[in-house]
Amino acid sequence: MVHKILVVEDNSDNRILITDVLSSLDYEVIIAVDGKEGLETAINSVPDLILMDLSLPKMDGWTATAEIKAKPELENIPIIALTAHAMVGDRERALAAGCDDYISKPIDLRELVKKLQDYLG
């Protein structure tokens, strides 16, 4: 089974890097470039996992995550925050919004791959 991962990221360089890594690991990648599109895409595609930037246009990642987790059909999808917000309390804030995990930027690709394996098997 090919796992479907939604990447919600507004920075094109980060999007390309993440997409290339995920594709090389045979994941199906779906892209959204802002929080509003991320929410809509999650509803329409029901991915197996979501990688969510937190600083996004139109709707921030905290809000998009909370709205996704509020939907019964989406509440069990793991959401991993990808963020440059690495200050004290940011991890806790991401988890409080409904993120299941947290990776700070710049992204350590080994850490990303390990977390994907942890959540998707």
Query: What CATH number corresponds to the domain at position 22?
Result: 3.40.50.2300
Phi then psi dihedrals of residue 51, to 5 deg: -105, 115
Specify the number of domains making up the chain. 1
pLDDT, tens digit, 9 for 90 and up, residues 71-111: 999 999 999 998 886 667 778 888 898 999 999 888 898 99
Task: Measure the CA–CA gap between 4 and 70, rounded to whole angstroms.
Answer: 20
Instruction: Indicate the pTM of the whole model.
Output: 0.94
Task: Measure the CA–CA gap between 111 and 69, rounded to whole angstroms.
Answer: 24
Q: Where are the alpha helices (DSSP H) in the chain?
A: 12-24, 35-45, 61-69, 90-97, 109-120
Containing structural domain, residue 105 = 4-120
